[in-house]
Amino acid sequence: MRLTVDHMTRYLYDRPVRSVVQSHRLTPSAFAGQKVVDWEVTVSGGLRGATHRDGAGDQVQGWTIAGPVTSVEVRVRGTVETTDLAGVLRGHRETVAPEVYLRDTTPTRADVALETLARSVEAPDVLALAHALSAAVSDAIAYRPGVTHAHTTAAEALALAEGVCQDHAHALIAVARVRNIPARYVSGYLFADADGNAHEAAHAWAELFVPTLGWVGFDPANRSCPDERYIRLGSGFDAQDAAPIRGIARGGAKEEMDVTVAVLAAQQ
């Protein structure tokens, strides 16, 4: 499938800030399931800095915006050809050992309820267990926007029994680590959900490490593994670590953020 992306993130400050420094993971991952046809990231008033590929195989690009400035626009436009690999991250180069992703973080730390959920399923092998854990999270947390926020933890989302893709990913990471399966958070885009409805926001899912296959993606929010509808950007221990845009503004101003995303299917 050939997918086009138009993603705008606008930062607004209630008074001028002296400068803004950002780190981006906005370039699609290089692996067998996707190929970049064209891709461009622009930052209003921004000066492009150094680029490097981190240990997880993600491209990280630095930007600096000199002030005084009251707004910053980050625009992503591009086209990617995708292939359905049933969630398997085949051909992705990285140097970090999978066992690193057994480490808990605050959003993914398991409480008693998450540990109980993790041990409520049994399976004959790691792959089957990963599928069962993803299904258990899907059953336990209904998809409902607006009930959680950016800092909601996996334990809080499970207690609410509601959340969004970020909460599903955090919960799956938590229960996988309880079962000693390395797991990490993935950010990206989704063309359409399992019902065929257009997806109008950035998306997130989890990857679990299966010794016979490597990293395999699971999307509990849509009860599926990533296929040709997905574009993978980058990964991390949790949502904050894998954020497509991270940054800091000097000047102590109050910041507001507005995001619009359009992912469309292009003609071949």
- pLDDT tens digits, 116-156: 999 999 999 999 999 999 999 999 999 999 999 999 999 99
Q: What's the mean pLDDT in 45-49?
A: 96
Q: What's the mean pLDDT in 222-230?
A: 96
| Percentage of the chain lying above the pLDDT 70 cut | 96
> Looking at the domain that runs over 82-236, which CATH code has it been given?
3.10.620.30
Q: Are 207 and 218 in contact (CB under 8 A)?
A: yes
Query: Average pLDDT over the chain, rounded to whole?
Result: 95
**Tell me: the pLDDT tens digits for 2-30?**
999 999 999 999 999 999 999 999 999 99
CATH 2.60.40.2250 residue ranges in the chain? 2-80+245-265
Q: Are 38 and 102 in contact (CB under 8 A)?
A: no
CATH 3.10.620.30 residue ranges in the chain? 82-236
pLDDT band at 252, cuts 50/70/90? confident
Domain 2-80+245-265: state its class.
mainly beta
